[in-house]
Structure 1
Amino acid sequence: MIKNIFEYALGGIYMKFVKNALISLYINLFIIIFLFVSLLRGLIKNDMGNWIHILLIAGVIISGISNIIFAAKNTINSCKLCKNRDYNSLRKCMKILKFGAIPYFILNFAMHFLIFLFLFAASRGTMIFTPIPLLFFIPICFTYPTVVFTSLYGIGFVVSISRDKKLSKKKFIFHVLLQLCFILDVISTISLLIKYKKIDEIN
Structure 2
Amino acid sequence: MKNVRNALIGLYFNLFIVIFTLVFWVRWLIDLNNSSWLKWLLVFALTVSEIFNIVFAGINAVNSFILLKNGDYTSMRKNMKALKFGVIPYFVINFIIYVLLFLLFFAASRGLFIFTPIPLLLLIPVFFAYLTVIFTASYGIGFSLILYKEKRIKTGKLVLHILLQLCFVLDVIDTIVLLAKNKVVKTNI
Q: Determine if the TM-score, normalized by the shorter chain, exceeds 0.5.
A: yes
**Given the alignment, which residue of 16, 34, 51 partners 2:37?**
51
C-alpha distance in 2 between matches for 1:26 and 1:131: 28
- Counterpart check, 1:79 vs 2:94: no
3-state DSSP of counterpart to 2:113: helix
> Which residue of structure 2 lines up, in the alignment, with residue 69 of structure 1?
55
Q: Greater CA deviation, 115-124 or 31-40?
A: 115-124
Query: What SS is found at the alignment partner of 1:170?
Result: helix
Q: Which amino acid aligns with 1:23?
A: I
CA distance in 1, matches of 2:109, 2:73: 53
Is 1:117 the equivalent of 2:103?
yes
Selected match of 1:180 from 161, 166, 176: 166
Structure 1 ranges of 4+ moved more than 6 A: none
Sequence identity percentage: 54
Q: How many residue pairs align between the two structures?
A: 188
Unaligned 5+ residue runs, structure 2?
none
Distance 1:133 1:63, change over 3 A: closer
CA distance in structure 2 between the partners assigned to 1:36 and 1:44 by the alignment: 13
TM-score when normalising by structure 1? 0.86
| Unmatched 5+ stretches in structure 1 | 1-14
TM-score norm. by structure 2 comes to: 0.93
RMSD across aligned positions (CA): 1.6
d(CA) in 2 for partners of 1:163, 1:198 = 15
CA drift of 1:133 comes to: 2.8
Deviation digits for residues 136-160 of structure 1, max 9, x if unmatched?
Answer: 2222122111000111111111111
> Separation in 1 of the partners of 2:62 and 2:120?
35
Q: Relative to structure 1, is the Cα distance of residues 116 and 62 closer, same or farther in structure 2, using a 3 angstrom cutoff?
A: same
